[in-house]
């Protein structure tokens, strides 16, 4: 007999979701404020002496690489692949490894340390990881032990995390549908919407009603100006696909070489990546550190002192930070790269305004990296509180998705999630094989009572 919608068990699940969503909202807001303070600390050090990053950044990268060699290894990278992998593989031990409360706390702490050391990373991906971990841990703590129930907690926590991180509630729902699951089940609609609304209300209550980059009154008139859609969709889509391809592990080529070096000397390799980031930053006026939020906003507003090659340099800085194997997301840094590339393209598109081309570049590059055009379009619209650009943004994102797939066949988050699953399955199979191999040896050492062999 079906359980009543008003039964005590159903109300217990609702209270768990509501409490978890509040917790995720508070964690996202606290994490955002702490991230701002951590990066401000780094900036104050740089202002005091521009040579300090040559020591501080490589040391931070090396320390984080060392700390994440053992139990904290799942805190590496964005965090979104971990949430997707936990959602796809219904294995309790695997989920506990990726989404435990210890991982959530570790993810926040190590990401803050990376920002304080100048890493070119974002906090939005880690917030998704933290949101999934908090709701999953809460559900497990209060009896949601079956795989289906755990999946709902993971999905709702991920969506709430992204919504609260960017203050983009609609993008949180779209992200969960397009990126996390690839499908939409009717029974999940209420759970997702409730979690996103509650986390969003918490963020709204503390930070107020704001747009991430501010409110922009931007438009793109029909006609020659729409060439900007073609240009940004093609160029930024290809660039995003290249970035995704470079960070997905591979056995051969440059990625294979990087993987082998990192495996042999992870700490030294991370330090070298930090040094490369600092060296690249010397080619700019404001550096390539942090999320790139300030530079992206300045470019979007049309008054910036960043160098013309900022988009390309930030692209390389993001690669260096990700290859180091440290915790940190790629969402905000991707928007900064897209802004830089959009500014470059605007010089060839006089019929389209600078801000319009920059916004298209941000959306298209993000779509190229993630190959999730709907999520990229909705995020870009909500980040600037702009609805006039929704049609050209969607067109650019769709084109970017198509061109990105020419370079990188598989969406980056799903490819990284599959790598996590494959590694887990391989390690588990090896462990089982060792157990089987040991058993005959143990049995052979036992006394054979029938043959009369003495102990």
403: its two tokens: 């061109």
Q: Domain check: are 80 and 202 in the same one?
A: yes
What is the tens place of the pLDDT at every residue in 92-104?
999 999 999 999 9
94, 424 contact by CB (below 8 A): yes
Residue 438 lies in a domain: no
Residue 426 lies in a domain: no
- Return the pLDDT at 17: 78
- Return the pLDDT at 117: 96
Q: What is the mean pLDDT of the chain?
A: 86
Q: Which of 207, 235, 257 corresponds to the end of one domain?
A: 207
Residue 150 lies in a domain: yes
| Average pLDDT, integer, range 340-354 | 92
CA angle 359/227/409 to nearest 5° reads 70
92: its two tokens: 């309790």
Q: Domain check: are 196 and 230 in the same one?
A: no
148-162, 353-367, 387-401: which range is least confident on average? 148-162
Q: Domain check: are 177 and 298 in the same one?
A: no
Higher pLDDT, 156 or 191: 156
Q: Domain check: are 17 and 145 in the same one?
A: yes
Confidence of residue 450 (pLDDT cuts 50, 70, 90): very low
What is the tens place of the pLDDT at every residue in 210-260?
677 777 778 888 888 899 999 999 999 999 999 999 999 988 888 889 989
**Cα(371)–Cα(405) distance, rounded to whole angstroms?**
8
Q: Which of 144, 176, 207 corresponds to the end of one domain?
A: 207
Residue 19 lies in a domain: yes
Q: Domain check: are 177 and 242 in the same one?
A: no
User: Residues near 109 by Cβ (< 8 Å), separated by ≥ 6?
Assistant: none
- Return the pLDDT at 4: 55
Whether the pLDDT of residue 453 is over 50: the answer is: no
Whether the pLDDT of residue 293 is over 60: the answer is: yes
What is the tens place of the pLDDT at every residue in 299-328?
998 877 778 899 999 999 999 999 999 999
DSSP-derived 3-state class of residue 77: strand
Q: Domain check: are 297 and 323 in the same one?
A: yes
Whether the pLDDT of residue 86 is over 90: the answer is: yes
**Cα(171)–Cα(174) distance, rounded to whole angstroms?**
5
How many independent structural domains does the chain possess? 2
Whether the pLDDT of residue 277 is over 80: the answer is: yes
Q: First and final CA of the chain: distance in angstroms?
A: 60
**Cα(405)–Cα(367) distance, rounded to whole angstroms?**
11
74-83, 107-116, 166-175: which range is least confident on average? 166-175
Q: Domain check: are 248 and 390 in the same one?
A: yes
Residue 71 lies in a domain: yes
Residue 77 lies in a domain: yes
Q: Domain check: are 280 and 188 in the same one?
A: no
CATH number, position 32: 1.10.3080.10
**Cα(115)–Cα(451) distance, rounded to whole angstroms?**
68
174, 374 contact by CB (below 8 A): yes
Tell which residue, 200, 238, 209, has the closest CA to residue 25.
Answer: 200
- Return the pLDDT at 361: 96
Confidence of residue 454 (pLDDT cuts 50, 70, 90): very low
35-39, 51-55, 447-451: which range is least confident on average? 447-451
Residue 212 lies in a domain: no
Give the domain range for residue 271: 224-412
């Amino acid at each position: 007999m079906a359980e009543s919608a008003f039964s005590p068990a159903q109300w217990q699940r609702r209270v768990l979701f509501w409490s978890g969503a509040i917790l995720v909202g508070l964690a996202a807001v606290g994490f955002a404020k702490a991230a701002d303070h951590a990066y401000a600390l780094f900036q104050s050090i740089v202002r005091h002496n521009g040579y300090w990053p040559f020591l501080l950044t490589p040391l931070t990268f090396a320390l984080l690489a060392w700390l994440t060699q053992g139990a904290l290894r799942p805190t590496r990278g964005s965090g979104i692949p971990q949430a997707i992998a936990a959602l796809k593989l219904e294995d309790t031990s695997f989920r506990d490894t990726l989404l435990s409360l210890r991982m959530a706390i570790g993810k926040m702490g190590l990401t803050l340390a990376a920002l304080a050391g100048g890493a070119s990373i974002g906090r939005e991906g880690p917030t998704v990881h933290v949101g999934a971990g908090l709701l999953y841990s809460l559900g497990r703590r209060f009896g949601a032990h079956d795989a289906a129930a755990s999946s709902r907690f993971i999905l709702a926590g991920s969506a709430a995390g992204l919504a609260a991180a960017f203050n983009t509630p609609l993008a949180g729902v779209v992200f969960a549908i397009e990126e996390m699951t690839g499908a939409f089940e009717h029974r999940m609609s209420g759970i997702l919407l409730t979690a996103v609304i509650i986390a969003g209300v918490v963020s709204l209550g503390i930070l107020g009603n704001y747009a991430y980059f501010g409110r922009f009154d931007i438009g793109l008139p029909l006609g020659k100006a729409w060439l900007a859609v073609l240009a940004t969709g093609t160029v930024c889509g290809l660039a995003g696909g290249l970035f995704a391809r470079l960070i997905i592990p591979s056995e051969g080529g440059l990625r294979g070489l990087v993987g082998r070096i990192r495996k042999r000397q992870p700490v030294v390799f991370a330090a070298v990546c930090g040094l490369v980031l600092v060296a690249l930053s010397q080619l700019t006026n404001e550096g390539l550190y942090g999320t790139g939020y300030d530079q992206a906003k300045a470019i979007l507003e049309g008054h910036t002192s960043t160098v013309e090659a900022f988009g390309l340099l930030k692209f390389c800085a993001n690669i260096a930070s990700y290859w180091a194997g440290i915790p940190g997301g790629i969402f905000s840094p991707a928007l900064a790269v897209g802004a830089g590339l959009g500014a470059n393209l605007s010089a060839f598109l006089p019929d389209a305004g600078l801000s319009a081309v920059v916004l298209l570049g941000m959306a298209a590059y993000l779509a190229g990296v993630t190959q999730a055009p709907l999520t990229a379009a909705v995020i870009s619209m909500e980040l600037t509180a702009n609805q006039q650009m929704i049609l050209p943004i969607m067109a650019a994102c769709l084109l970017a998705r198509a061109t990105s797939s020419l370079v990188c066949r598989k969406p980056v988050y799903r490819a990284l999630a599959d790598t996590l699953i494959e590694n887990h399955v391989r390690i588990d199979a090896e462990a089982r094989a060792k157990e089987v191999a040991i058993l005959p040896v143990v049995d052979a050492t036992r006394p054979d009572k029938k043959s009369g062999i003495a102990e």
